[in-house]
Amino acid sequence: MLPYGHQWIEEDDIEAVVKVLRSDWLTTGPAVEEFEAALAEKVGARYAVAVANGTAALHLACLAAGLGPGDSLISSPNTFAASTNAALYCGARPAFVDINERTYNMDPDALDRFLGHHTGESKPKAVVPVHFSGQPCDMERIASIARRADLVIIEDACHALGAKWRDSQGQWQKSGSCSHCDMTAFSFHPVKHITTAEGGVITTNRSDLYEKLKRLRNHGLVRDPAHLQNGHGAWYYEMQDLGFNYRLSDLQCALGTSQLKKLDSWVARRREIAAAYDHLLGDVDGVVIPYQKENTYSSYHLYVIQVESRRKVFETLRGKGIGVQVHFFPVHLHPFYRNHFGFRPGDFPIAEAYYEHAISLPVFPQMSDDDVHRVIREVKAAARNA
Ligand X SMILES: *Cc1c(COP(=O)(O)O)cnc(C)c1O
Q: Which is nearer to ligand X, 36 or 156 (CB)?
A: 156
- Based on the shown chain and the rule CB under 6 A, indicate whether residue 158 belongs to the binding site for ligand X: yes
Q: Which of 67, 99, 130, 322 is close enough to bind ligand X by CB under 6 A? A: 130
Side-chain-side CA neighbours of residue 37 (13 Å): 6
User: Does the protein bind ligand X through residue 365 (CB under 6 A)?
Assistant: no
Give the nearest distance from C-beta 386 to ligand X in angstroms: 28
Q: Is 4 in the site for ligand X (CB under 6 A)?
A: no
- Please report whether residue 305 would count as binding ligand X according to CB under 6 A: no
d(CA 47, CA 341): 35
Contact 205, 21 (CB under 8 A): no
Q: Judged by CB under 6 A, which of 156, 182, 352, 378 binds ligand X?
A: 156
In whole angstroms, how far apart are CA 350 and each of 108, 179, 347, 355? 14, 29, 9, 9
Nearest CA to 380 out of 282, 298, 291 is that of 282
Closest CB to ligand X among 202 and 287? 202
How near is the Cβ of 228 to ligand X at its closest, in Å? Answer: 33
Q: Rule CB under 6 A: choose which of 159, 174, 269, 271 binds ligand X.
A: 159
Region binding ligand X by CB under 6 A among candidate stretches 29-37, 75-83, 275-283, 303-311: 75-83
Phi and psi at residue 103, to the nearest 5°: -85, -20
DSSP 9-45: --HHHHHHHHHHHTSS-SBSSHHHHHHHHHHHHHHT-
Q: Taking CB under 6 A as the criterion, which residues in 171-190 touch ligand X?
A: 187, 189
Q: Is 24 left (phi over 0), alpha (psi -120 to 50) or beta?
A: alpha
Among 55, 72, 205, 296, interactor with ligand X by CB under 6 A: 55
Comparison of 51 and 281: residue with beta carbon closer to ligand X: 51
Question: Measured in Å, how far apart are the chain's first and last C-alpha atoms?
Answer: 21
Element at 197 (helix H, strand E): none
Is there binding between residue 127 and ligand X (CB under 6 A)?
no
Among 7, 75, 78, 83, binds ligand X (CB under 6 A): 83
User: Is the torsion defined by CA of 117, 95, 92, 67 positive or negative?
Assistant: negative
Interface with ligand X, residue 79, by CB under 6 A: yes
By CB under 6 A, residue 200 contacts ligand X: yes
- In the list 53, 84, 103, 296, the residue contacting ligand X (rule: CB under 6 A) is 53
Helix, strand and coil in the chain, % to nearest 5? 40, 20, 40
Residue ranges in contact with ligand X by CB under 6 A: 53-55, 79-80, 82-83, 130, 156, 158-159, 187, 189, 200
